[in-house]
Structure 1
Amino acid sequence: MDKTKIWFLENFSMLQVLSPEEMKMMDNMASMRDAPKNQVLYFSEDSANSVYLLKKGKVKISKTSSDGREIILAILGPGEVFGELSITGQEKREEIAEVTEDAVICKVDLPDFEKMMEHNPKFNLQVTKLIGFRLKKIQNRLENMIFKTSEQRVKSFIKETVMELGRDILGEDNQKVVELRLTQEDISKLTATSRQTVTTVFSDLEKKGIIKYDRRRIFVKDMKALDE
Protein backbone atom coordinates (compact mmCIF):
# COMPACT_ATOMS: atom_id res chain seq x y z
CA MET A 1 0.00 0.00 0.00
CA ASP A 2 1.22 3.53 -0.77
CA LYS A 3 1.80 4.92 2.74
CA THR A 4 2.29 8.43 1.37
CA LYS A 5 -1.14 8.40 -0.22
CA ILE A 6 -2.79 6.99 2.90
CA TRP A 7 -1.15 9.74 4.99
CA PHE A 8 -2.40 12.28 2.50
CA LEU A 9 -5.98 11.03 2.65
CA GLU A 10 -5.97 10.85 6.44
CA ASN A 11 -5.18 14.57 6.60
CA PHE A 12 -8.49 15.56 4.99
CA SER A 13 -11.02 16.43 7.70
CA MET A 14 -13.88 15.28 5.47
CA LEU A 15 -12.39 11.76 5.32
CA GLN A 16 -11.87 11.37 9.05
CA VAL A 17 -15.34 9.83 9.41
CA LEU A 18 -14.14 6.83 7.37
CA SER A 19 -13.12 3.63 9.13
CA PRO A 20 -9.60 2.16 8.57
CA GLU A 21 -11.16 -0.35 6.15
CA GLU A 22 -12.93 2.43 4.25
CA MET A 23 -9.70 4.45 4.12
CA LYS A 24 -8.06 1.46 2.42
CA MET A 25 -10.95 1.38 -0.06
CA MET A 26 -10.48 5.10 -0.77
CA ASP A 27 -6.75 4.56 -1.15
CA ASN A 28 -7.38 1.91 -3.80
CA MET A 29 -9.82 4.19 -5.60
CA ALA A 30 -7.62 7.30 -5.66
CA SER A 31 -4.75 8.17 -7.98
CA MET A 32 -2.17 10.73 -6.82
CA ARG A 33 0.01 12.89 -9.05
CA ASP A 34 2.01 16.10 -9.27
CA ALA A 35 0.48 19.01 -11.16
CA PRO A 36 2.76 21.92 -12.18
CA LYS A 37 1.84 25.59 -12.01
CA ASN A 38 -0.45 26.80 -14.83
CA GLN A 39 -1.74 23.31 -15.62
CA VAL A 40 -5.48 23.27 -16.24
CA LEU A 41 -7.04 20.28 -14.53
CA TYR A 42 -10.35 20.74 -16.29
CA PHE A 43 -12.14 23.30 -18.46
CA SER A 44 -15.78 24.28 -18.47
CA GLU A 45 -17.75 21.83 -20.63
CA ASP A 46 -15.35 18.97 -19.77
CA SER A 47 -17.05 15.83 -18.49
CA ALA A 48 -17.74 16.04 -14.74
CA ASN A 49 -16.62 12.52 -13.92
CA SER A 50 -14.27 12.87 -10.94
CA VAL A 51 -13.61 14.55 -7.60
CA TYR A 52 -10.23 16.05 -6.62
CA LEU A 53 -8.45 16.37 -3.26
CA LEU A 54 -5.61 18.87 -2.94
CA LYS A 55 -2.60 17.88 -0.82
CA LYS A 56 -0.12 20.62 -1.73
CA GLY A 57 -0.11 23.89 -3.67
CA LYS A 58 -2.97 26.09 -4.84
CA VAL A 59 -5.79 25.63 -7.34
CA LYS A 60 -7.90 28.44 -8.78
CA ILE A 61 -11.56 27.81 -9.57
CA SER A 62 -12.94 30.33 -12.06
CA LYS A 63 -15.57 31.07 -14.67
CA THR A 64 -15.51 33.17 -17.82
CA SER A 65 -18.24 35.80 -18.10
CA SER A 66 -20.22 36.39 -21.29
CA ASP A 67 -17.93 39.32 -22.14
CA GLY A 68 -14.78 37.22 -21.68
CA ARG A 69 -13.78 38.38 -18.18
CA GLU A 70 -12.40 35.92 -15.66
CA ILE A 71 -14.43 35.58 -12.46
CA ILE A 72 -12.50 33.93 -9.62
CA LEU A 73 -14.81 31.75 -7.50
CA ALA A 74 -12.21 30.30 -5.13
CA ILE A 75 -8.50 29.84 -4.57
CA LEU A 76 -8.03 26.54 -2.78
CA GLY A 77 -5.16 25.35 -0.60
CA PRO A 78 -4.00 22.05 0.93
CA GLY A 79 -6.70 19.91 2.50
CA GLU A 80 -9.50 21.15 0.25
CA VAL A 81 -11.76 19.28 -2.17
CA PHE A 82 -12.94 20.46 -5.59
CA GLY A 83 -14.92 19.18 -8.54
CA GLU A 84 -17.54 18.11 -6.01
CA LEU A 85 -20.48 19.44 -8.05
CA SER A 86 -20.18 16.34 -10.22
CA ILE A 87 -21.92 14.55 -7.33
CA THR A 88 -25.06 16.68 -7.83
CA GLY A 89 -25.63 15.28 -11.31
CA GLN A 90 -23.65 17.93 -13.18
CA GLU A 91 -22.63 16.21 -16.41
CA LYS A 92 -20.37 18.99 -17.70
CA ARG A 93 -18.03 21.24 -15.71
CA GLU A 94 -19.28 24.79 -15.34
CA GLU A 95 -15.97 26.17 -14.12
CA ILE A 96 -12.23 25.97 -14.80
CA ALA A 97 -9.73 24.46 -12.34
CA GLU A 98 -6.16 25.70 -12.83
CA VAL A 99 -3.04 25.08 -10.73
CA THR A 100 -1.56 28.40 -9.57
CA GLU A 101 1.19 26.93 -7.37
CA ASP A 102 2.84 23.53 -7.99
CA ALA A 103 0.40 21.01 -6.57
CA VAL A 104 -0.04 17.40 -5.50
CA ILE A 105 -3.55 16.11 -6.03
CA CYS A 106 -5.60 12.96 -5.65
CA LYS A 107 -8.28 12.15 -8.19
CA VAL A 108 -11.21 9.84 -7.43
CA ASP A 109 -13.55 8.72 -10.21
CA LEU A 110 -17.14 9.77 -9.58
CA PRO A 111 -18.67 6.23 -9.42
CA ASP A 112 -16.11 5.25 -6.76
CA PHE A 113 -16.73 8.41 -4.74
CA GLU A 114 -20.49 7.87 -4.90
CA LYS A 115 -20.02 4.27 -3.80
CA MET A 116 -18.20 5.49 -0.70
CA MET A 117 -21.00 7.97 0.03
CA GLU A 118 -23.56 5.15 -0.18
CA HIS A 119 -21.42 2.98 2.06
CA ASN A 120 -21.00 5.57 4.84
CA PRO A 121 -23.93 7.90 5.77
CA LYS A 122 -21.65 10.17 7.84
CA PHE A 123 -19.37 10.67 4.87
CA ASN A 124 -22.44 11.35 2.70
CA LEU A 125 -23.48 14.07 5.15
CA GLN A 126 -20.00 15.62 5.13
CA VAL A 127 -20.00 15.83 1.35
CA THR A 128 -23.54 17.26 1.27
CA LYS A 129 -22.57 19.95 3.78
CA LEU A 130 -19.48 20.82 1.73
CA ILE A 131 -21.52 21.28 -1.45
CA GLY A 132 -24.09 23.47 0.31
CA PHE A 133 -21.41 25.58 1.96
CA ARG A 134 -19.49 26.08 -1.30
CA LEU A 135 -22.60 27.13 -3.23
CA LYS A 136 -23.61 29.61 -0.52
CA LYS A 137 -20.10 31.05 -0.39
CA ILE A 138 -19.97 31.56 -4.16
CA GLN A 139 -23.43 33.14 -4.16
CA ASN A 140 -22.39 35.56 -1.41
CA ARG A 141 -19.23 36.51 -3.30
CA LEU A 142 -21.14 37.20 -6.52
CA GLU A 143 -23.71 39.29 -4.63
CA ASN A 144 -20.90 41.28 -3.01
CA MET A 145 -19.50 42.10 -6.45
CA ILE A 146 -22.87 43.55 -7.46
CA PHE A 147 -23.95 45.39 -4.32
CA LYS A 148 -20.78 46.38 -2.44
CA THR A 149 -17.96 48.83 -3.08
CA SER A 150 -14.37 47.63 -3.52
CA GLU A 151 -13.52 48.56 0.06
CA GLN A 152 -16.59 46.79 1.43
CA ARG A 153 -15.75 43.65 -0.59
CA VAL A 154 -12.24 43.45 0.86
CA LYS A 155 -13.52 43.98 4.41
CA SER A 156 -16.24 41.37 3.89
CA PHE A 157 -13.64 38.93 2.57
CA ILE A 158 -11.48 39.41 5.69
CA LYS A 159 -14.47 38.87 7.97
CA GLU A 160 -15.74 35.78 6.12
CA THR A 161 -12.27 34.21 6.02
CA VAL A 162 -11.66 34.79 9.71
CA MET A 163 -15.13 33.53 10.65
CA GLU A 164 -14.67 30.39 8.55
CA LEU A 165 -11.05 29.49 9.25
CA GLY A 166 -9.93 31.60 12.20
CA ARG A 167 -9.73 30.91 15.90
CA ASP A 168 -10.78 33.00 18.88
CA ILE A 169 -8.29 34.87 21.02
CA LEU A 170 -8.58 33.54 24.57
CA GLY A 171 -10.65 35.88 26.69
CA GLU A 172 -11.43 38.25 23.80
CA ASP A 173 -14.91 37.76 22.31
CA ASN A 174 -14.38 40.30 19.52
CA GLN A 175 -10.93 39.19 18.35
CA LYS A 176 -9.84 36.39 15.99
CA VAL A 177 -6.73 35.27 14.15
CA VAL A 178 -6.38 33.25 10.94
CA GLU A 179 -3.36 31.71 9.22
CA LEU A 180 -3.38 33.07 5.68
CA ARG A 181 -2.54 31.01 2.59
CA LEU A 182 -3.45 33.82 0.21
CA THR A 183 -1.41 36.72 -1.13
CA GLN A 184 -2.86 40.18 -1.62
CA GLU A 185 -2.91 39.40 -5.34
CA ASP A 186 -5.09 36.36 -4.61
CA ILE A 187 -7.42 38.47 -2.48
CA SER A 188 -7.73 41.09 -5.22
CA LYS A 189 -8.85 38.40 -7.67
CA LEU A 190 -11.34 36.91 -5.23
CA THR A 191 -12.88 40.31 -4.48
CA ALA A 192 -12.78 41.66 -8.07
CA THR A 193 -10.63 44.61 -7.01
CA SER A 194 -7.13 45.78 -7.84
CA ARG A 195 -4.13 44.74 -5.77
CA GLN A 196 -3.60 48.42 -4.94
CA THR A 197 -7.11 48.59 -3.47
CA VAL A 198 -6.42 45.54 -1.28
CA THR A 199 -3.11 47.05 -0.12
CA THR A 200 -4.81 50.37 0.66
CA VAL A 201 -7.67 48.76 2.61
CA PHE A 202 -5.31 46.55 4.63
CA SER A 203 -3.06 49.51 5.39
CA ASP A 204 -6.01 51.67 6.45
CA LEU A 205 -7.39 48.93 8.72
CA GLU A 206 -3.96 48.53 10.34
CA LYS A 207 -3.63 52.27 10.95
CA LYS A 208 -7.05 52.26 12.63
CA GLY A 209 -5.99 49.37 14.85
CA ILE A 210 -8.67 47.03 13.44
CA ILE A 211 -6.30 44.37 12.05
CA LYS A 212 -2.67 43.34 12.09
CA TYR A 213 -1.34 41.65 8.96
CA ASP A 214 2.08 40.08 8.38
CA ARG A 215 1.57 38.06 5.14
CA ARG A 216 1.24 34.83 7.11
CA ARG A 217 -1.79 35.66 9.20
CA ILE A 218 -4.48 38.22 9.87
CA PHE A 219 -5.16 39.20 13.47
CA VAL A 220 -8.51 40.97 13.72
CA LYS A 221 -8.63 43.14 16.83
CA ASP A 222 -12.19 44.38 16.28
CA MET A 223 -14.54 42.12 14.32
CA LYS A 224 -17.46 44.56 14.58
CA ALA A 225 -15.46 47.33 12.92
CA LEU A 226 -15.29 45.28 9.69
CA ASP A 227 -19.02 45.88 9.24
CA GLU A 228 -18.64 49.68 9.22
Structure 2
Amino acid sequence: MGSGGDLPVHELLRTCSTRLCLPKDQTIHVPGTKDTNLYYIEEGPVRFSLNSYDGDEKILYILGPGNFFNEGSICCPQEVMCHIYCEESSVILKVDSTVFRTLMKNAAFVEALFRGLMCKNNLLEQEVSNISFKSCKERLLLIFVKECCKDKIYDHDWYDVKKRYTHQDLASIIGANRVTVSKMIGELCEECQIRCLNRKIQVNRKALKRRD
Protein backbone atom coordinates (compact mmCIF):
# COMPACT_ATOMS: atom_id res chain seq x y z
CA MET A 1 0.00 0.00 0.00
CA GLY A 2 1.25 3.52 -0.79
CA SER A 3 1.24 6.37 1.69
CA GLY A 4 -1.92 7.87 0.16
CA GLY A 5 -0.68 10.97 -1.65
CA ASP A 6 -2.94 13.98 -1.09
CA LEU A 7 -6.12 12.12 -0.09
CA PRO A 8 -7.98 13.66 2.89
CA VAL A 9 -7.22 11.66 6.02
CA HIS A 10 -10.70 10.17 6.47
CA GLU A 11 -10.79 9.08 2.81
CA LEU A 12 -7.29 7.66 3.05
CA LEU A 13 -8.27 5.61 6.11
CA ARG A 14 -11.30 4.18 4.33
CA THR A 15 -8.98 2.61 1.74
CA CYS A 16 -6.85 0.72 4.28
CA SER A 17 -9.04 -0.11 7.27
CA THR A 18 -11.80 -2.41 8.47
CA ARG A 19 -15.11 -0.57 8.86
CA LEU A 20 -17.00 -1.47 12.05
CA CYS A 21 -20.69 -0.48 12.35
CA LEU A 22 -21.47 -0.69 16.06
CA PRO A 23 -24.78 -0.29 17.93
CA LYS A 24 -25.43 1.99 20.89
CA ASP A 25 -23.77 0.79 24.14
CA GLN A 26 -21.47 -1.59 22.24
CA THR A 27 -18.27 -2.15 24.22
CA ILE A 28 -15.09 -1.64 22.18
CA HIS A 29 -12.51 -2.23 24.93
CA VAL A 30 -12.54 -3.10 28.61
CA PRO A 31 -9.65 -2.49 31.04
CA GLY A 32 -6.92 -5.08 30.57
CA THR A 33 -7.53 -5.55 26.83
CA LYS A 34 -4.38 -5.84 24.69
CA ASP A 35 -4.86 -4.42 21.20
CA THR A 36 -2.28 -3.03 18.77
CA ASN A 37 -4.77 -1.60 16.27
CA LEU A 38 -5.45 2.09 15.70
CA TYR A 39 -9.07 3.25 15.69
CA TYR A 40 -10.67 6.25 13.96
CA ILE A 41 -14.18 7.48 14.74
CA GLU A 42 -16.05 8.08 11.50
CA GLU A 43 -19.52 8.48 13.02
CA GLY A 44 -21.01 8.71 16.51
CA PRO A 45 -19.76 9.61 20.00
CA VAL A 46 -17.46 7.18 21.85
CA ARG A 47 -17.16 7.32 25.64
CA PHE A 48 -13.96 6.68 27.63
CA SER A 49 -14.41 6.04 31.34
CA LEU A 50 -12.87 4.51 34.43
CA ASN A 51 -14.79 2.32 36.86
CA SER A 52 -14.15 1.83 40.57
CA TYR A 53 -14.33 -1.56 42.29
CA ASP A 54 -17.78 -0.49 43.54
CA GLY A 55 -18.97 0.07 39.97
CA ASP A 56 -18.91 3.89 40.04
CA GLU A 57 -18.07 5.41 36.67
CA LYS A 58 -15.84 8.42 36.01
CA ILE A 59 -16.04 9.75 32.45
CA LEU A 60 -12.63 10.82 31.11
CA TYR A 61 -13.91 12.25 27.84
CA ILE A 62 -16.34 11.63 24.99
CA LEU A 63 -14.82 11.77 21.49
CA GLY A 64 -16.71 12.41 18.27
CA PRO A 65 -16.04 11.92 14.54
CA GLY A 66 -12.53 12.69 13.33
CA ASN A 67 -10.77 11.44 16.47
CA PHE A 68 -8.34 8.56 16.89
CA PHE A 69 -7.89 6.29 19.88
CA ASN A 70 -5.55 3.50 21.04
CA GLU A 71 -2.56 5.31 19.50
CA GLY A 72 -0.27 4.54 22.44
CA SER A 73 -0.74 0.77 22.22
CA ILE A 74 0.70 0.72 18.70
CA CYS A 75 3.95 2.46 19.63
CA CYS A 76 4.23 0.92 23.09
CA PRO A 77 2.06 -2.21 23.51
CA GLN A 78 0.17 -1.99 26.80
CA GLU A 79 -3.13 -2.93 28.36
CA VAL A 80 -6.08 -0.62 27.83
CA MET A 81 -6.79 1.22 31.10
CA CYS A 82 -10.34 2.46 30.49
CA HIS A 83 -13.73 1.23 29.43
CA ILE A 84 -14.47 2.34 25.85
CA TYR A 85 -17.95 2.05 24.37
CA CYS A 86 -20.36 3.65 21.91
CA GLU A 87 -22.71 6.28 23.35
CA GLU A 88 -24.81 6.03 20.19
CA SER A 89 -24.66 3.94 17.02
CA SER A 90 -21.14 4.49 15.67
CA VAL A 91 -18.89 3.73 12.73
CA ILE A 92 -15.27 2.98 13.62
CA LEU A 93 -12.38 2.40 11.22
CA LYS A 94 -9.84 -0.14 12.49
CA VAL A 95 -6.27 0.15 11.17
CA ASP A 96 -3.78 -2.61 11.91
CA SER A 97 -0.26 -1.88 13.09
CA THR A 98 1.42 -2.80 9.78
CA VAL A 99 -0.76 -0.35 7.85
CA PHE A 100 -0.17 2.25 10.58
CA ARG A 101 3.59 2.17 9.94
CA THR A 102 2.96 2.85 6.24
CA LEU A 103 0.54 5.68 7.05
CA MET A 104 3.23 7.37 9.13
CA LYS A 105 4.85 8.35 5.82
CA ASN A 106 1.83 10.54 5.07
CA ALA A 107 2.24 14.07 6.47
CA ALA A 108 -1.51 14.77 6.67
CA PHE A 109 -2.07 11.58 8.64
CA VAL A 110 0.75 12.38 11.09
CA GLU A 111 -0.60 15.89 11.57
CA ALA A 112 -4.15 14.60 12.23
CA LEU A 113 -2.83 11.99 14.67
CA PHE A 114 -0.75 14.56 16.55
CA ARG A 115 -3.65 17.04 16.63
CA GLY A 116 -5.89 14.38 18.17
CA LEU A 117 -3.33 13.56 20.85
CA MET A 118 -2.99 17.25 21.76
CA CYS A 119 -6.77 17.60 21.94
CA LYS A 120 -7.04 14.73 24.44
CA ASN A 121 -4.09 16.10 26.40
CA ASN A 122 -5.82 19.48 26.63
CA LEU A 123 -9.05 17.85 27.80
CA LEU A 124 -7.23 16.02 30.59
CA GLU A 125 -5.29 19.15 31.61
CA GLN A 126 -8.57 21.08 31.83
CA GLU A 127 -10.05 18.32 33.95
CA VAL A 128 -7.09 18.37 36.36
CA SER A 129 -7.40 22.16 36.59
CA ASN A 130 -11.16 21.97 37.18
CA ILE A 131 -10.81 19.35 39.92
CA SER A 132 -8.02 21.34 41.58
CA PHE A 133 -9.53 24.81 41.51
CA LYS A 134 -13.28 24.66 40.81
CA SER A 135 -16.22 23.48 42.89
CA CYS A 136 -18.53 20.72 41.64
CA LYS A 137 -21.19 23.31 40.82
CA GLU A 138 -18.76 25.39 38.75
CA ARG A 139 -17.66 22.28 36.87
CA LEU A 140 -21.29 21.38 36.21
CA LEU A 141 -22.00 24.83 34.81
CA LEU A 142 -18.89 24.62 32.61
CA ILE A 143 -20.22 21.41 31.03
CA PHE A 144 -23.41 23.23 30.02
CA VAL A 145 -21.48 26.29 28.80
CA LYS A 146 -19.19 24.19 26.58
CA GLU A 147 -22.17 22.46 24.99
CA CYS A 148 -24.07 25.70 24.24
CA CYS A 149 -25.43 26.26 20.75
CA LYS A 150 -24.98 29.95 19.94
CA ASP A 151 -26.81 29.78 16.62
CA LYS A 152 -30.12 30.84 18.17
CA ILE A 153 -31.02 32.87 21.28
CA TYR A 154 -34.33 32.53 23.14
CA ASP A 155 -36.10 35.32 25.07
CA HIS A 156 -33.06 37.57 24.43
CA ASP A 157 -30.98 35.75 27.06
CA TRP A 158 -30.95 31.95 26.71
CA TYR A 159 -29.01 29.43 24.63
CA ASP A 160 -29.81 25.72 24.22
CA VAL A 161 -27.41 23.07 25.49
CA LYS A 162 -26.85 20.84 22.44
CA LYS A 163 -26.10 17.57 24.21
CA ARG A 164 -28.58 15.91 26.52
CA TYR A 165 -27.01 14.39 29.62
CA THR A 166 -28.68 12.20 32.22
CA HIS A 167 -28.06 13.19 35.83
CA GLN A 168 -25.97 10.02 36.15
CA ASP A 169 -23.80 11.11 33.20
CA LEU A 170 -23.22 14.50 34.80
CA ALA A 171 -22.44 12.88 38.15
CA SER A 172 -19.88 10.62 36.46
CA ILE A 173 -18.18 13.57 34.76
CA ILE A 174 -17.83 15.80 37.83
CA GLY A 175 -17.31 13.07 40.42
CA ALA A 176 -20.54 13.46 42.37
CA ASN A 177 -23.80 11.52 42.72
CA ARG A 178 -27.20 11.99 41.09
CA VAL A 179 -28.80 13.55 44.16
CA THR A 180 -26.04 16.16 44.37
CA VAL A 181 -26.33 16.91 40.64
CA SER A 182 -30.09 17.45 40.97
CA LYS A 183 -29.50 19.79 43.90
CA MET A 184 -26.84 21.79 42.03
CA ILE A 185 -29.03 22.11 38.93
CA GLY A 186 -31.74 23.53 41.16
CA GLU A 187 -29.27 26.02 42.65
CA LEU A 188 -28.03 27.10 39.20
CA CYS A 189 -31.64 27.67 38.16
CA GLU A 190 -32.28 29.79 41.27
CA GLU A 191 -29.18 31.84 40.41
CA CYS A 192 -30.55 32.32 36.85
CA GLN A 193 -27.39 30.84 35.34
CA ILE A 194 -29.40 28.07 33.68
CA ARG A 195 -33.06 27.21 33.24
CA CYS A 196 -34.98 24.02 32.45
CA LEU A 197 -37.53 24.48 29.68
CA ASN A 198 -39.51 21.62 28.11
CA ARG A 199 -37.02 19.12 29.59
CA LYS A 200 -34.11 21.00 27.97
CA ILE A 201 -31.41 22.95 29.75
CA GLN A 202 -30.60 26.45 28.57
CA VAL A 203 -27.72 28.68 29.68
CA ASN A 204 -28.09 32.38 30.40
CA ARG A 205 -26.19 34.73 28.11
CA LYS A 206 -24.49 36.42 31.09
CA ALA A 207 -23.21 33.11 32.45
CA LEU A 208 -21.84 32.31 29.02
CA LYS A 209 -20.18 35.71 28.64
CA ARG A 210 -18.41 35.45 32.01
CA ARG A 211 -16.71 32.25 30.86
CA ASP A 212 -15.82 33.18 27.27
Would you call these one fold, judging by a TM-score over 0.5?
Answer: yes
Task: Normalising by structure 2, report the TM-score.
Answer: 0.70
Separation (CA, whole Å) in 1 of partners of 2:51 and 2:10: 37
Separation (CA, whole Å) in 2 of partners of 1:179 and 1:98: 21
Change in Cα spacing, 1:202 to 1:19, as seen in structure 2 (3 Å) is farther
Task: Specify the alignment match of 1:61 in structure 2.
Answer: 48
Change in Cα spacing, 1:57 to 1:133, as seen in structure 2 (3 Å) is closer
Separation (CA, whole Å) in 2 of partners of 1:69 and 1:88: 29
Give 1:126's match in structure 2, choosing from 91, 112, 116: 112
The answer on whether the counterparts of 1:59 and 1:75 sit within 8 Å (CA) in structure 2 is yes
Give 1:71's match in structure 2, choosing from 43, 58, 75: 58
Q: CA deviation at 1:150?
A: 2.1
Separation (CA, whole Å) in 1 of partners of 2:15 and 2:110: 19
Q: Which amino acid is 2:84 matched to?
A: A
String of CA shifts for 1:14-61, please: whole Å, max 9, x gaps. xxxx84486554212122223234432112332242232334444321
Give 1:107's match in structure 2, choosing from 87, 94, 109: 94
SS in 2 for 1:29: coil
Change in Cα spacing, 1:123 to 1:56, as seen in structure 2 (3 Å) is closer
Separation (CA, whole Å) in 2 of partners of 1:206 and 1:71: 25
SS in 1 for 2:31: coil
Q: Percent identity?
A: 21
The answer on whether the counterparts of 2:36 and 2:97 sit within 8 Å (CA) in structure 1 is yes
Separation (CA, whole Å) in 2 of partners of 1:175 and 1:125: 38
Separation (CA, whole Å) in 2 of partners of 1:37 and 1:100: 6
The answer on whether the counterparts of 1:60 and 1:98 sit within 8 Å (CA) in structure 2 is yes
Relative to structure 2, which stretch is displaced further, 93-102 or 186-195? 93-102
Task: Specify the alignment match of 1:136 in structure 2.
Answer: 122
SS in 2 for 1:32: strand
The answer on whether the counterparts of 2:9 and 2:112 sit within 8 Å (CA) in structure 1 is no
What residue ranges of structure 2 are gaps of 5+ in the alignment?
Answer: none
Greater share of residues in helix? 1
Give 1:152's match in structure 2, choosing from 138, 160, 169: 138
Q: Which amino acid is 2:162 matched to?
A: E
Separation (CA, whole Å) in 1 of partners of 2:8 and 2:132: 47
The answer on whether the counterparts of 2:19 and 2:93 sit within 8 Å (CA) in structure 1 is yes
Matched, 1:34 2:34: no
Task: Normalising by structure 1, report the TM-score.
Answer: 0.66
Separation (CA, whole Å) in 2 of partners of 1:69 and 1:39: 19
Relative to structure 2, which stretch is displaced further, 187-196 or 105-114? 105-114
SS in 2 for 1:45: coil
Pairs within 5 Å for 1:1-228: 19-20=6-7, 24-65=11-52, 69-77=56-64, 79-86=65-72, 89-92=75-78, 93-120=80-107, 122-145=108-131, 147-159=133-145, 161-162=146-147, 167=150, 179-180=162-163, 182-212=165-195, 218-222=202-206, 223-225=208-210
RMSD: 3.7
Q: CA deviation at 1:127?
A: 2.0
SS in 2 for 1:118: coil
> Aligned residues, how many?
202
SS in 1 for 2:67: strand
What residue ranges of structure 1 are gaps of 5+ in the alignment?
Answer: 1-17
Separation (CA, whole Å) in 2 of partners of 1:196 and 1:226: 26
